[in-house]
Chains A and B, each alone.
Chain A
Amino acid sequence: MLQLKTWKEVTIGGVVPGGATPEANKTGSWRAERPVWNEEKCIHCLQCWLRCPDDSILIKEEKVTGIDYEHCKGCGVCAGVCPVDAIQMVPERGER
């Protein structure tokens, strides 16, 4: 469990030193549906990667390698734009 700071310990104005903090903040917990990627169907056109509003399509050397569920909010844009139906939205059932 993260130890929350007291009012005497917070930084002035709530500034977060270091910057680039979104990666450390896990924000994928409120997803209702999760995109499930089918590696065999994927043609690596990267349309999903281009449009994902949360930078949650993981790629390596211009190829999709998976989905970052720690930040994906389940908006379904990736599934919508996929030209070969390689991403399916499935209801979350509490599993990780």
Chain B
Amino acid sequence: MKKTMTGHKAVAEAMRQIEPDVVAVYPITPQSEIAEYYAQYVADGIVHTELVPVESEHSAMSACVGAAAAGARVMTATASQGLALLIEVLYIAAGLRLPIVMALVNRALSAPINIHCDHADAYLARDAGAIQIFAESAQEAYDYMIMAQRIAENERVRLPLIVNLDGFTLSHSVQVVEPLPDEEVKQFVGEFKPVYPLLDVENPATWGPFAMPDYYFELKRAQQAGMETVPEVFLKVQEEYAKLSGRPYKGFFEGYKLEDAERAIVIMGSTAGTAKVVVDELRKKGEKVGLLKVWLWRPFPKEEIVKALSHVAKVAVLDRALSFGNMGALYLDVTSAFVHREERPTFVNYIYGLGGRDTTTEHIEQVFAELDAARPGELRYLGLRE
């Protein structure tokens, strides 16, 4: 049944339906409402989750690691500075192969302090070893929170997973969301099967042992192998979920009017919605433009992206965060995928929407209009006062 709700409520609803054993969370703008909704569910006895109201995000992720090693299904949520504070422990969660699912309500990083959306927090977590998915809408945030459990908990994957949703744009705006019935979600996510749970006192195990130069490298390679199995698992879970929900999830990204496109934009998050409006308008005028919206950012689906973009002449990659001293991280992902390919587009990089700067249809029109004349490999800034 269709309902109206904010992105936060959609995420909290997915969490309520999944009903993890433990949620350890610390409030931060704009994520606070997720923590508040979930605390309310616990207080009202709607869920039987152990809610750990910790004193910081570093403690939140630490409690998540402890609970996950103990054998619990664990979830959390954060944003911006909170992600920055817990990043140390996110690396540990990944290294210990703990499938902790986290909603990241994207917000700019200080300084200067700002509470609005960009993707700097997600970019900070890029190399931590967490799977990262970006949602365009509240519906996608809801759906991927549910799929996340199955992907992260797969016995060959066993990695933390971040579902990114744009702060305020998605988290606080009311949209139409169609949740699944509680029972269907419970059945879809199934029972959590822990590996070497610490609470299994009959079978003791040592977690987090010291690994010297003789073993550290092997363990990190094994962790990479966990990442390498994600695409296969992602597609399988997505296919099953598409069947269950009736929603058209197929692939690591959404290609929008891309098949015959001559110019295209690559983008992540809610601005993809704005870009689709522009693609539709320009198509009406006969312009062959398209869009590639990334769902799965880590691991990066480079082979598939090459296939989807090879025929396009000009591509603008839009990054909503700076990688100081170089091109945007998504731009580097996309262009490096083409490095040994004969057939490839020319690329331009745009940095857009930092600190919540609004990106409008006019901005996206500007990107398409400039694309033909743009110098290949140029780094441009969209919506900036020059």
Which chain A residues have a beta carbon within 8 Å of chain B's beta carbons?
4-8, 10-21
Contact = CB atoms under 8 A, between A and B. Distances in A.
Contacts of A17: 196, 203, 205
A88 B206 CA distance: 35
Interface of B: 95-98, 158, 195-196, 203-209, 211, 214-215, 217-219, 221-222, 225-226
Query: From DSSP, what is the main secondary structure of chain A's interface residues?
Result: loop
Nearest to A21: B206
Contact of B98 (A8, A11, A13, A16): A13
A21 B209 CA distance: 10
A20 B218 contact: no
B225 A7 contact: yes
Contacts of B219: 7, 10, 13-14
A13 B96 contact: yes
B225 A19 contact: no
A45 to B, nearest CB: 34
Contact of A7 (B97, B195, B208, B218): B218
A6 B158 CA distance: 19
Contacts of B206: 15-16, 18-21
B74 to A, nearest CB: 15
Contacts of A7: 217-219, 221-222, 225
A19 B215 contact: no
Given A5-B218, A7-B219, A14 B209 contact: yes
Given A18-B204, A19-B205, A13 B97 contact: yes
Given A13-B97, A16-B206, 14 more contacts: A4-B218, A5-B215, A7-B219, A8-B222, A10-B218, A11-B196, A12-B222, A13-B98, A13-B207, A13-B219, A14-B96, A14-B211, A14-B219, A15-B205
Nearest to A4: B214
A4 B215 contact: yes
Interface core residue of A5, A10, A12, A16 (most chain B CB under 10 Å): A12
Contact of A10 (B98, B205, B222): B222
Contact of A13 (B158, B203, B221): B158
A12 B204 CA distance: 15
Given A7-B221, A18-B205, A12 B195 contact: yes
A52 to B, nearest CB: 21
A59 to B, nearest CB: 24
B204 A20 contact: yes
Given A17-B205, A21-B206, A12 B97 contact: yes
Contacts of B225: 7-8
Contact of A15 (B207, B215, B218, B221): B207
Contacts of A19: 204-206
- Give the top 4 A-B pairs by smallest Cβ distance, nearest first: A19-B204, A13-B97, A7-B221, A16-B206
Contacts of A4: 214-215, 218
A6 B214 CA distance: 10
Contacts of A15: 96, 195-196, 205-207, 209
Contacts of B97: 12-13
A6 B225 CA distance: 13
A10 B205 CA distance: 14
A9 to B, nearest CB: 8
22 contacts: A4-B218, A5-B215, A5-B218, A7-B221, A7-B222, A8-B222, A10-B218, A10-B219, A11-B196, A13-B98, A13-B207, A14-B95, A14-B208, A14-B211, A15-B96, A15-B196, A15-B205, A15-B206, A16-B205, A16-B209, A17-B196, A18-B206
Contacts of B98: 13
Nearest to B221: A7
Contacts of B218: 4-7, 10
Contacts of B222: 7-8, 10, 12
